[in-house]
Structure 1
Amino acid sequence: MVDLLQRSSARTVVITQRSKFFDSVLVDNRLGALLAAQHLIELGYNNIGFIGQTNVDDEKYSVFNHCLEQNGLKVDSKNLLWVNKGAGESLIKQTEDVQKTVKAIVENFQSNLAFWVYNDVFAVCLNSTTC
């Protein structure tokens, strides 16, 4: 794919990942995690969960949880869910990880519960009955 794009006249920019082949636009994950935690706290949630990708979102979780702790909160272990990298990347392909995560959320649902989810596609999947 890289070779094909480089040979073409198409301008290519990679979003959210650093590329050694193309220009890249990166995201400040630390700031995003901080703002997400602050937003949920400001909305009045006191039971906040986190869903992240194993071995990918450790820094996001660390910053997110640190912000909660500074406000007298923490992510309850039953609301901390890790999925394999790429599990929520496709709405078309159902994966075992997505199904397990949705089941765990439903089984552990409590009032005043909010989750920060690592990826918008996965978040949509969690809110969908067709995923």
Structure 2
Amino acid sequence: GRLTKDDLLSYLKTRSSSSAVAAPSPGAAPASVAPAASRPTIKVPEVKVGEGDEIVEMDRLRKLIAENMVMSKQVSPHVTSIVEADVTNLALWRNKAKTEFEKKYGEKLTFMPMFTWAVAKALRDYPGI
């Protein structure tokens, strides 16, 4: 599910003060730090080489690129942002206009040019985004 502002505010009101982290006292000894866990080994899938296959060793640059891509996948957070918009009126207008549009221009009227126009207009109106 999605986390809404109301969910967060409700949580902040109901959380107990015992769950808050206490500040260390000035004379307290530092806690021992556990050694960093080593990276988990990644199981490499077994690849079967076919009769007509040729194995070509990657050059240094391609190896570096591959290593950085794998590292990025492991380190970077993966998120998805969803923005919802009510396009009911746009869909109704399109349904009315699509037959005439196709007769006049010989092309189907799709949503893509409409969305592209809206994005271009928004970028022009709000260049700081």
TM-score normalised by length of structure 1: 0.22
More strand by share: 1
More helix by share: 2
TM-score normalised by length of structure 2: 0.23
Larger radius of gyration: 2
